[in-house]
Amino acid sequence: MKSQHARSLVVVGVILALCLSTAYAQQGGKKEHTFRGKVEKVDAKAKTLTVNGENVEGWMAAMTMSYAVDKEEVINKVKAGDQITAKVYDGDFKTLHDVQVLPAKNKK
């Protein structure tokens, strides 16, 4: 009966995997990624940050481009030269969410 037991384990595993992928798909493909980069410019008027971003696997290659932010106060908080992290989502390549400025000791 050993092989039958092993087979039922495989079946359970497949069912679990299917459930997980369904739950994942139901989030509307809004996968979250962690973005890291250095602020090159803050445009208070346009409320955008120009950031030299590191490669984000599955989201965007390393590049410098300007981003909108989810909260306006971030524009006043962030300065050129700051290292930041943010959350970014699949399908939205323009907005940085939950921007955090890294402590100055991490600056070069």
Give the nearest distance from C-beta 41 to Cu ion in angstroms.
15
Number of amino acids touching Cu ion (CB under 5 A): 3
Strand residues in the chain grouped as ranges (E): 32-43, 48-53, 63-69, 83-89, 92-101
Q: Which of 102, 93, 89 is nearest to 37 (CA)?
A: 102
Query: Counting contacts by CB under 5 A, is residue 63 touching Cu ion?
Result: yes
Instruction: Point out which span in 23-31, 35-43, 52-60, 76-84 binds Cu ion (CB under 5 A).
Output: 52-60
Give the nearest distance from C-beta 33 to Cu ion in angstroms.
13
Q: Which of 61, 42, 41, 49 is nearest to 86 (CA)?
A: 49
Give CA–CA dist 16/22, Å, rounded: 10
Q: What DSSP designation does 70 have? A: S
Give the nearest distance from C-beta 65 to Cu ion in angstroms.
4
Q: Taking CB positions, which residue lies at the least distance from Cu ion?
A: 65
Query: Counting contacts by CB under 5 A, is residue 68 touching Cu ion?
Result: no
Give the nearest distance from C-beta 61 to Cu ion in angstroms.
7
Applying CB under 5 A, which residues contact Cu ion? 60, 63, 65
